[in-house]
């Protein structure tokens, strides 16, 4: 799992463009406030921190991620003394109990091996009355991923079984159940939709060659012949018989929020 999140620049090219668009929508649902200390769990390259910083202009903001390369990249994106980044595990957060006023997590929970531990830790480090929230892609609602895997399985029936594609915390109701099991109150879940344009097929395909995320990790295992078959199959799916050009993909995300009991 760690290998497919080792290339920060590759991740930016494949998924970062989606994260930047999703982050403000999620921050609004999370009812982000400019108060106290805010934690971003699984901060990646800093898309959510950027959105937080634009809203909470006087808060202390901390980003934590297990990937050293992601943390190092995120540090280069900000020049603000109130924003810091460090390496850390969502299942064992390196912070005191009740230290933060708000804790958020964007596009991470579905990759955490034991999401119940992460939810419990997010609650632990958030003060009584504070808000804890998370956002994930819907498993079948992100066309970037769902169409990729449909085509991969058509060419290779064992593709999905061999992939590292998330299988939890990415269906409607799962995040609500997770938050309730962590003892959070006033739990609410919502669906968010968005679109992203691509200028050409290569604008979509080339980032998959970086070995990042489940799709890139799978592509890296393919022979040159199988990789080309997948490339041609995906091109047909997106462009049909027309010449290369722009197209748009849709995405569906799930978000949940709850409060720490006072």
Please provide the average confidence, as pLDDT, over all residues in the chain: 91
Per residue in 41-98, pLDDT (tens digit) is: 999 889 999 999 999 999 999 999 998 988 998 999 999 999 999 999 999 999 999 9
What is the percent of the chain where pLDDT is above 90? 76
Mean pLDDT of 200-229: 91
pLDDT at 141: 87
Q: How confident is the model at residue 1 (pLDDT cuts 50, 70, 90)?
A: very low
Sheet-wide strand order for 83-87: 83-87, 60-65, 37-41, 100-104, 126-137, 247-259, 185-198
Question: What b/e readout covers 217-245, taking b as 16+ CB neighbours within 10 angstroms?
Answer: bbbeebeeeebebbbebbbebbbeeeeee
Contact between 171 and 11 under an 8 Å Cβ cutoff? The reply is no
Q: How confident is the model at residue 11 (pLDDT cuts 50, 70, 90)?
A: low
154 SS3 class: helix
CATH 1.10.3720.10 corresponds to the domain 2-259: no
Q: How confident is the model at residue 212 (pLDDT cuts 50, 70, 90)?
A: confident
Mean pLDDT of 30-44: 95
Considering only residues 213 and 117, tell me which one the structure prediction assigns the higher pLDDT. Answer: 117
Mean pLDDT of 202-207: 93
What is the percent of the chain where pLDDT is above 70? 93
Is 80 exceeded by the pLDDT of residue 14?
no
- Alpha helix stretches (DSSP H) within 30-142: 47-55, 68-76, 115-124
């Amino acid at each position: 799992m760690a290998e497919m999140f080792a290339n920060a620049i590759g991740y930016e090219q494949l998924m970062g463009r989606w994260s930047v668009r999703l982050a403000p929508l999620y921050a609004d649902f999370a009812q982000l406030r400019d108060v106290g200390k805010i934690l971003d769990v699984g901060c990646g390259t800093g898309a959510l921190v950027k959105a937080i910083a634009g809203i909470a202009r006087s808060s202390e903001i901390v980003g934590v991620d297990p990937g050293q390369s992601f943390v190092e990249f995120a540090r280069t994106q900000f020049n603000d003394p109130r924003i810091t980044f460090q390496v850390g595990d969502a299942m064992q957060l390196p912070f005191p109990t009740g230290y933060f006023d708000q804790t958020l997590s964007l596009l991470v929970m579905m990759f955490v091996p034991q999401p119940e531990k992460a939810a419990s830790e997010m609650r632990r480090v958030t003060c009584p009355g504070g808000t804890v929230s998370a956002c994930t892609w819907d498993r079948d609602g992100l066309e970037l991923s769902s169409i990729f895997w449909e085509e991969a399985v058509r060419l290779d029936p064992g593709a999905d079984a061999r992939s590292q594609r998330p299988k939890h915390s990415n269906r409607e109701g799962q995040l609500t159940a997770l938050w309730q099991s962590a003892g959070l109150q006033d739990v609410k879940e919502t669906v968010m939709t968005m679109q992203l344009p691509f200028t050409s097929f290569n604008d979509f395909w080339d980032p998959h060659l970086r070995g990042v995320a489940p799709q890139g990790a799978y592509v890296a295992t393919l022979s040159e012949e199988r990789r080309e078959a997948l490339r041609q199959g995906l091109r047909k799916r997106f462009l049909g018989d027309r010449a290369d050009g722009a197209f748009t993909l849709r995405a569906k995300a799930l978000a949940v929020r709850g409060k720490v009991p006072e």
